Structure 1
Amino acid sequence: METIYIITFHSANNSLLAYKLLKNCRLKVVMIQTPCRLSAGCARSIEVKEKDIDTAVSTIKENSLSIQGIYKKFINPNTRRYDYVEVYY
């Protein structure tokens, strides 16, 4: 399984704008519903592949958008469910 990162935002506007910016950069990103364990705030997040995470984060920061958190998504071998660990950029 390829490593996936989830970027969460403080507002729906920021998530939509970030999605548009990243698509314009020709990155393969997916708009998803934010997993409940990550945020009770904004209901939208962006999934980014590991190879694109550096470009995605720098593009978002260059455009002065506020990121709530960045999480690495993986399957927990004990529960066989998705789990998340926060990463810092």
Structure 2
Amino acid sequence: METVYIITFSSTNSSLMLYKILKDSKMKVTMIQTPCKLSAGCSRALEIKQLDLSKAIEKINNFNIEIQSIYKKFINPKTRRYEYLEISC
């Protein structure tokens, strides 16, 4: 399974703005419902592949997009459930 990252937001507007910026930059990005484990705020999050993570962080900084956090998504081998690890950017 390819490593993916989830970007969470405190506002829907920020999620839509970053989604458009990343799509316009020809990056593969998927808008998903924010996993309940991660946030009770905005219900939209973006999922990107590890290959595009550094470019996405660059766009976030260049366009001053307000994000809540970025999480690495992985499967816990003991429980076989998705787990999320917050990363610093």
| TM-score tier after normalising by the smaller chain length | over 0.9
- TM-superposition CA deviations, 1:61-86 (whole Å, max 9, x none): 21111110000000001110100000
Q: Hey, which of these two has a bigger chunk of strand by percent? A: 1
Identity among equivalent pairs (%) = 57
2-side partners of 1:30 and 1:79: how far apart?
26
Which structure 1 residue ranges, 5 or more long, are not aligned?
Answer: none
Residue 21 (structure 1) shift: 0.3
The equivalent residue for 2:45 is 45
The equivalent residue for 2:28 is 28
2-side partners of 1:68 and 1:17: how far apart?
14
After TM superposition, the score normalised by the length of structure 1 is 0.98
Residue 19 (structure 1) shift: 0.2
* Structure 2 residue 12 is matched with structure 1 residue 8: no
State the number of aligned residues: 89
The equivalent residue for 2:63 is 63
